[in-house]
Structure 1
Amino acid sequence: MTLPQLLATGLLALAGLASAAPITIKDDRGASVTLPDTPRRIVSLLPSLTETVCELGDCAKLVGVDRFSDFPASVRALPKLGGLDDTGVEALVALKPDVVLLGVSARVIDRLEALGVKVIALEPRSMADVQRVLGKVAQVLGKPDDARRIWNRIDGAISFSAQQLPPAARTLSVYYEVDAAPYAAGRASFIGEILDRLGAKNIVPPELGPFPKLNPEFVVRADPQLIMVGQRSAGGLPQRPGWAGIRAVKDKKICVWVPAESDVLVRPGPRMGEAAALMARCLRQAAAGPVPLPTTPFNAPAGGMR
C-alpha cells in the first residue's frame, strides 16, 4: 500500500471513530439520554419534530412518524404510528429505531423505555423553546452549525414580515383561537410571540400561559378588532353568546385559516417564518377593511384532527 493510500485509510478510520462517539442529550423531562452513535433510524411522533429533522437534511433517516406528520411530502409515505395517546407500540418497535423523538406529554414514553427504546422528549412552546429544540435535534444528528443557520433564517423571515407591515396593521388588537373550547394562543406562546414581533396587540396576557382555556366572556370583554381562527372552528363563532357584538365580528375582520395554513401556524418549527407571513397577510387585510373568507371548504383529514 502506498503512503497516500495509508494516509487515506487512516483518515477514514479516524472519521469512523469520530462518528461513533456517544451523544448525550438532556431532554425536556430533564432526563439524560445517551446514544452510542449518530442515529441512522429515527421515529418522530410530533409533526414539528418531523419537520425539524427534515429541515436539517435527514428526512431519509425517518422510518416512521405520527399520523399528523405530513410535511414535507416525502414523509407521507412513511408508516403512520398513531398519535400522542394511541401510538402503535408494536409497529414502532418493529421498525427498530435508534431513537424516538416525541413530545413530553406522549403517554407511550414509559412503555418504550421499558422495552429498551431510546426516547428523547422535546416540547417547544415558545420561540426560545423552538430554537433550543432545533439545537438539540441538530446535536442528535451531528449538525450543530446547521441549527444556527436555520434559526437565523427563521428569525430573519419573521423580521422581514414585520418590516413590511403598514403602521395601521401594527395597532390591531387580536384574539387567536387554537381550538373551539376555546383555547387561545397567549403572548407566552410561540404564536403570541410572533404576533408581538409583528406589532399586534394580543388580548391574552402572558400570565395566563401559552395556550390557556378561556371563558368566552373574556373575549367578549376584551372586544378584539381582529380574530384569527382555524376553518373547523370558525363556523359558529358569531353565534356564541355575546360574540355578535365583538368589533372583529361586526366589522368582518376574521382571518379563517384553511387546514394547510393551520398546520403551518400551529407547528413550532422550521416553518415559523411562513407562519409570520400568513399572520402579516391577515393583519394587512384587516387594516384595509373586511377580511375575505377562504373559498376552499373545510374537510377533516383522514384520522381526525389533533
Structure 2
Amino acid sequence: MSTAAKYATRQITDQAGRQVHFECLPQRIISLAPSLTEIVYALGAEDLLKGVTDYCDYPPEARNKPRAGGYSTVDVDQIGKIQPDLILAGQIHLKDIVPRLEALGYPVLVLEPSTVEGLLETIRIVGKCTGRAKAAELLAESLGRRTDFITAKIASLSPENRPSVYVLHECQTWKTFGSDTIGDTLIEMAGGYNIGRDFGCYYPYPAKEDIKLKNPDIIIAETGYGDNPREPLNIALGEPVLA
C-alpha cells in the first residue's frame, strides 16, 4: 500500500484544538513561522517545503525557499501562486489569516506550543503530516532526554537563587515573553525567573522604565532575523536604561 493511500482521510488535531482533514499526504507545504520551518528541516522533510516567511533563515538553506510574506504580514496572493496543500501557521495567524486561507480551500494547522511538552507534540504533529513520524519520535525523545538532564541539575535551586531574566524580543517595542509562552517555560526550566511574566501573558510590551525597576540579572537579546539581525543586541548593549 502506498504512503498516500495509508494516509487517506486522516484528521489531525492542531494546537488550537481544531480538526484539520487531509485526503492524502501533503506534498506542497508552506511554513508561516521560522520555528516551524526549522522543525520541517530537522525532520528531513525540506523537500516538501515550497514556501516560507521572510524571517525563515535557519538552516541557511531555508533562505533559498520561495517567500510567502512576513511572519505577521502574510502574502495571501503569493500563497495562491504556490498552491500549497498544507500551511503551517502560528497563534498570531488564528484570528484573521487562518479564516482567509481556509476560505480559499487551504488546510491550515495552527502550531504554537507554550511548554516543552507542547513543543514535542508540535514535532510529532509535523512528523505525522509529512510522513516523518519515526524521525519526529526520535527527535522528541532526544529533546526529552536533554530536558530531563537540565531540570535535574537545577531541581534543588531555591527561588531566591534564581537569576531574573529579561528577553528583548523586539527592540522597537520592548516586546518580551510573558507567561504562557515557550520562552517563559525555557527560562524557568533553565533555572531563571522570567520578569516578562510580571508584565502579562503571551507577548507583553513593557515600558523601558518598568524593565529598569525590575533590575534583571540577565538580559537576553534575540538576534539573527530581519534586515538588521544584530539590532536587538546593539540596543541592549547601548541603551542607557539597560546599562
Shared fold per TM-score greater than 0.5 = yes
**TM-score normalised according to structure 2 size:** 0.78
- C-alpha distance in 1 between matches for 2:215 and 2:64: 45
Q: For residue 144 of structure 1, what is the aligned residue in structure 2?
A: 133
Asked if 2 retains the 8 angstrom alpha-carbon contact of 1:159 and 1:197, the reply is no
Matched, 1:86 2:73: yes
1:206 is displaced (CA, Å) by 6.7
Task: Classify 1:25/1:177 alpha carbon distance in 2 versus 1 (closer, same or farther; 3 Å).
Answer: same
- C-alpha distance in 1 between matches for 2:162 and 2:66: 46
1:58 is displaced (CA, Å) by 0.8
Determine helix, strand or coil for the equivalent of 2:129. helix
Asked if 1 retains the 8 angstrom alpha-carbon contact of 2:90 and 2:111, the reply is yes
Determine helix, strand or coil for the equivalent of 2:183. helix
Q: For residue 163 of structure 2, what is the aligned residue in structure 1?
A: 172
Q: For residue 4 of structure 1, what is the aligned residue in structure 2?
A: none
Determine helix, strand or coil for the equivalent of 2:187. helix
Asked if 2 retains the 8 angstrom alpha-carbon contact of 1:185 and 1:204, the reply is yes
Q: 1:26-65 alignment to 2 at 5 Å? A: 26-65=13-52
Task: Classify 1:89/1:236 alpha carbon distance in 2 versus 1 (closer, same or farther; 3 Å).
Answer: closer
1:175 is displaced (CA, Å) by 2.0
- C-alpha distance in 2 between matches for 1:239 and 1:84: 27
Structure 1 unaligned segments of length 5 or more: list them. 1-13, 250-306
- C-alpha distance in 2 between matches for 1:202 and 1:51: 25
Determine helix, strand or coil for the equivalent of 1:28. coil
- C-alpha distance in 1 between matches for 2:61 and 2:218: 36
Asked if 1 retains the 8 angstrom alpha-carbon contact of 2:124 and 2:133, the reply is yes
1:63 is displaced (CA, Å) by 1.2
Q: Percent identity?
A: 26
- C-alpha distance in 1 between matches for 2:192 and 2:73: 38
Task: Classify 1:34/1:55 alpha carbon distance in 2 versus 1 (closer, same or farther; 3 Å).
Answer: same
Matched, 1:182 2:182: no
Determine helix, strand or coil for the equivalent of 1:140. helix
Q: How many residues matched?
A: 228
Determine helix, strand or coil for the equivalent of 1:80. coil
- C-alpha distance in 2 between matches for 1:79 and 1:239: 36
**Structure 2 counterpart of 1:125, one-letter code:** S
Q: For residue 108 of structure 1, what is the aligned residue in structure 2?
A: 97
1:158 is displaced (CA, Å) by 4.2
Larger deviation, residues 156-165 vs 222-231: 156-165
Asked if 2 retains the 8 angstrom alpha-carbon contact of 1:113 and 1:119, the reply is yes
Residues 154-208 of structure 1, C-alpha deviation per residue, up to 9 Å, x if partnerless? 233345567789x9xx743222221232222245422222222221233344782
- C-alpha distance in 1 between matches for 2:100 and 2:135: 33
- C-alpha distance in 1 between matches for 2:138 and 2:233: 37
Q: For residue 219 of structure 2, what is the aligned residue in structure 1?
A: 227
- C-alpha distance in 1 between matches for 2:40 and 2:237: 40
Task: Classify 1:141/1:238 alpha carbon distance in 2 versus 1 (closer, same or farther; 3 Å).
Answer: closer
Determine helix, strand or coil for the equivalent of 2:114. coil
1:119 is displaced (CA, Å) by 1.8
**Structure 1 counterpart of 2:181, one-letter code:** S
**Structure 1 counterpart of 2:163, one-letter code:** L
**Structure 1 counterpart of 2:101, one-letter code:** L
Task: Classify 1:190/1:60 alpha carbon distance in 2 versus 1 (closer, same or farther; 3 Å).
Answer: same
1:121 is displaced (CA, Å) by 2.0
Asked if 2 retains the 8 angstrom alpha-carbon contact of 1:187 and 1:196, the reply is no
- C-alpha distance in 2 between matches for 1:76 and 1:46: 13
1:220 is displaced (CA, Å) by 2.4
Q: 1:240-259 alignment to 2 at 5 Å? A: 243=241, 249=243
- C-alpha distance in 2 between matches for 1:45 and 1:52: 12
Q: For residue 69 of structure 1, what is the aligned residue in structure 2?
A: 56
Matched, 1:203 2:190: no
Structure 2 unaligned segments of length 5 or more: list them. 223-229
Asked if 1 retains the 8 angstrom alpha-carbon contact of 2:10 and 2:21, the reply is yes
Asked if 2 retains the 8 angstrom alpha-carbon contact of 1:23 and 1:140, the reply is no
- C-alpha distance in 2 between matches for 1:102 and 1:89: 13
Q: For residue 22 of structure 1, what is the aligned residue in structure 2?
A: 9
Bigger Rg over Cα: 1
1:34 is displaced (CA, Å) by 0.7
1:234 is displaced (CA, Å) by 4.4
1:72 is displaced (CA, Å) by 2.0
Determine helix, strand or coil for the equivalent of 2:169. strand
Asked if 2 retains the 8 angstrom alpha-carbon contact of 1:126 and 1:189, the reply is yes
Determine helix, strand or coil for the equivalent of 2:106. coil
